Structure 1
Amino acid sequence: MSDLECSEGSYCHATSKGPAHSRCQTCRRRKRRCHRDSMCCPGNRCSNDICVPDDDSFVSQRIPDADGHLNPLLKRKGWKKRERLEVKGTSGKGQVGDPCLRSSDCSDSLCCARHFWTRICKPVLREGQMDLPPERSHHGNSLVSILSRWNRQRDDNERNVLALNVLLLGDRQSGRSSVGNALIGGHEFQTDACVSGVSVTTECQVLRRNFPGYFRRQGAETDLTLRVIDTPAPPPRPLSVHELCPGGVHVLVLVVRADRSHDNSHLEKYVESLFGPEWRRHAILILTHSDYLEKAGLRPSVYLTQTTDWLEALSSEAAGGVLFLDNSRDWPLIRGRPLRDGVLRLSARNHHRAVKVRTEVSL
């Protein structure tokens, strides 16, 4: 049996049992696998083992008439020769909705894109726009339309900024100003040598530093702006802190020297009276001069188990944990980034909410 012995729309299929068991099978439609042209349905040909449209021929299919005879003149609807694209518009380029093969067939600001099983000219989408069907594009009050208009109206120069108030507290010569310099990445806070027991910082100092594109928030690059408040010792009154931070404090940094073992429990009492019991959720403990621990052969985890009871309790109460900083190195360049990351993580844990200063308390 051969393909000529099968009716139109069929081909001869040879089974694995041999030519004697060959039989006629229905032709294969477009995009089906094939080995020769006769395996493809009329109007198609076999190319690279795939049935593809035959653009160079016009094939008619014989359909039985009322008397049961085959009429080769009747043409099945849908088997048409692909015609050349009709150019539209005065520029000779396709307009929106016109069929196309490539983007060069479309007018300026249009591109050739897939639309269901065809390709048509569509507008080039900008950032923030969505490809919507024409029947939905006129609904101006839809959520997508509102978001698209909002994105177009936003200023390109507008940036997302997260501003945090960071309050530094600690005893004399504890290293508060050095921690502040590490946070802002500079040397603006004064840290000159001083007489033993005399603090360099005699009044509150406020410095602000912006870090462009520091992290991503909700899928967009966000600037981090730190407003660092360095306080003297003894600590200021609640009203003074409220004037410096009217919106509250996002992160409370408690600075303690690791090479001194005297009791600083009065610092915890001051913070409790200033912010209430909620201060623990916004606190992070910084132990400075950790280079002395390295010289003594103590690891940070071992040091916390051998220190005084109040410091061990404070390290467990601070929600931001404990950071050890080495004063023998360049603070802003080496220790600044980990400290800023710790401040940012703690603020994010509190959903960037600030703790308010209780001004009615008298110290």
Structure 2
Amino acid sequence: MTDPKKMIINLALFGMTQSGKSSAGNILLGSNDFHSSFAPCSVTENCSLGRSCHLHNFMRRGGQEITLQVQVLDTPGYPHSTLSKKHVKREVKEALEHHFGQDGLHFALLLQRADVPLCGQEALSPIQMIQELLGPAWKNYTAILFTHAEKIQEAGLTEEEYIQRASDTLLTLLNSIHHRHVFQYKNRNSLNEQRLPILERIMEFIKENYYQVLTLK
């Protein structure tokens, strides 16, 4: 029987190699489930699912305090330095169906480094993969997670100014996904200071979707 005082949200991470997917996944989970390291090549080769501990009294819904648990699917970077598009796509498709096929996906998070402009065909590859895997409804279940957002502060810009100066490619993408985006700052003192604002923002997106999920059967 489903516990009305508990909510599980399902998230999948997409992005180019070294965009910070595994690191972001660890922040979302509040743990070190995913191997994350700097390398001149793709590090993640297989999909893996991580589950967070319970966040008690995270939010209120229907007048009740709700405990939140986060499930995050980490995926190989794409384009990948050693794996073909066909292999990566099959790997991710099978993992999505296996882990979220019954319960559905709340959001796909497209990881984009804030210090790297979104431009060129290669940069669009993860977006194309999301479209192919999620189908026509992808725009309603996709948000951008900007990693390395501390670089924005170092440049003396606000988040709003950063978006205003973004490439046409990025602005077009933001328009298509209803401007759903969130910034990840690694220069904040504690893990919770990094984690909670991101989860709160993602919950806003989920509420906008009336808590509906994308079915992957």
TM (normalized to structure 1)?
Answer: 0.51
Could you say if the C-alpha distance between residues 204 and 218 of structure 1 is closer, same or farther in structure 2, counting changes exceeding 3 Å? same
**Alignment correspondent of 1:245:** 100
Instruction: After superposition, give the CA deviation of every residue in 1:186-237 in whole Å (9 maximum; x if it has no partner).
Output: 2322223x322x1222211111122122212211222112111111123442
Aligned match of 2:136? 277
Mapped to 2, the partners of 1:291 and 1:224 lie a distance apart of 27
User: Which of these residues, 203, 207, 210, is aligned with residue 348 of structure 1?
Assistant: 207
Using the alignment, how far apart are the partners of 1:349 and 1:306 within structure 2?
27
Report the Cα distance in structure 2 between the residues aligned to 1:303 and 1:221, rounded to whole angstroms: 36
Report how far residue 297 of structure 1 moved.
2.6
> Which string of whole-angstrom CA distances, capped at 9 and with x for unpartnered residues, describes residues 310-334 of structure 1?
2111222224622222234456221
Q: Secondary structure at the match of 1:214?
A: strand
Aligned partner of 1:258 in structure 2 is: 114
Alignment of 1:10-159 (within 5 A): none
Report if aligned partners of 1:166, 1:250 keep a CA contact under 8 Å in 2.
yes
RMSD of Structure 2 on Structure 1 (CA): 2.1
Identity of aligned residues (%): 26
Displacement over 6 Å in runs of 4+: none
- Whether the 8 Å CA contact 2:48–2:75 is kept in 1: the answer is yes
Find 2:25's aligned residue among 180, 191, 194. Answer: 180
Letter in 1 for 2:183: F
1:178 deviates by: 1.9
C-alpha distance in structure 1 between counterparts of 2:50 and 2:138, whole Å: 22
The letter for the 1-side match of 2:59 is F
How many angstroms does 1:159 deviate by?
Answer: 6.1
Q: Secondary structure at the match of 2:108?
A: strand
- Farther off after superposition, 346-355 or 325-334: 325-334
State the match for 2:5 in structure 1: 160
1:302 deviation in Å?
A: 2.2
1 CA distance for matches of 2:16 and 2:190? 19
CA contact (8 A) 1:320 1:346 kept: no
**Residue number in structure 1 paired with 2:150:** 291
Q: 2 CA distance for matches of 1:322 and 1:293?
A: 15
Deviations 1:171-192 (A, max 9, x none): 1110112221221122322223
- Write out per-residue CA displacement over residues 28-51 of structure 1, whole angstroms, 9 at most, x where no aligned residue: xxxxxxxxxxxxxxxxxxxxxxxx
Q: Give unmatched runs, 5+ long, in structure 1.
A: 1-157, 359-363
2:9 aligned partner, one-letter code: L
- SS of the equivalent of 1:254 reads strand
Asked if the contact 2:49–2:72 (Cα under 8 Å) also holds between the matched residues in 1, the reply is: yes
Give the counterpart letter for 2:106 in structure 1: H
Q: Is the 8 A contact 1:159 1:223 kept in 2?
A: no
Q: In proportion to residue count, which structure has more helix?
A: 2
Q: 1:95-114, CA deviations, whole angstroms, 9 ceiling, x for partnerless residues?
A: xxxxxxxxxxxxxxxxxxxx
Tell whether the 8 Å contact from 2:184 to 2:198 is kept in structure 1 after alignment. Answer: no
The structure whose RCO (Cα within 8 Å, separation 6+) is larger is 2
Match of 1:335 in 2: 194
Contact 1:256 1:288 in 2 (8 A): yes
- Contact 2:110–2:127, Cα closer than 8 Å, also in 1: no
2:127 maps to what in 1? 268
| CA–CA separation in structure 2 for the residues paired with 1:258 and 1:249 | 25
In the superposition, the TM-score normalised over structure 2's length comes to 0.82
- In the other structure, the counterpart of 2:172 is 313
How far residue 350 of structure 1 moved from its aligned partner, in angstroms, is: 1.5
* Aligned counterpart for 1:232 among listed residues 70, 76, 80: 76
Structure 2 gaps, min length 5: 79-87
Task: State the SS of the aligned residue for 2:67.
Answer: strand
Other-structure match for 1:69: none
How many correspondences in the alignment?
Answer: 199
Larger Rg: 1
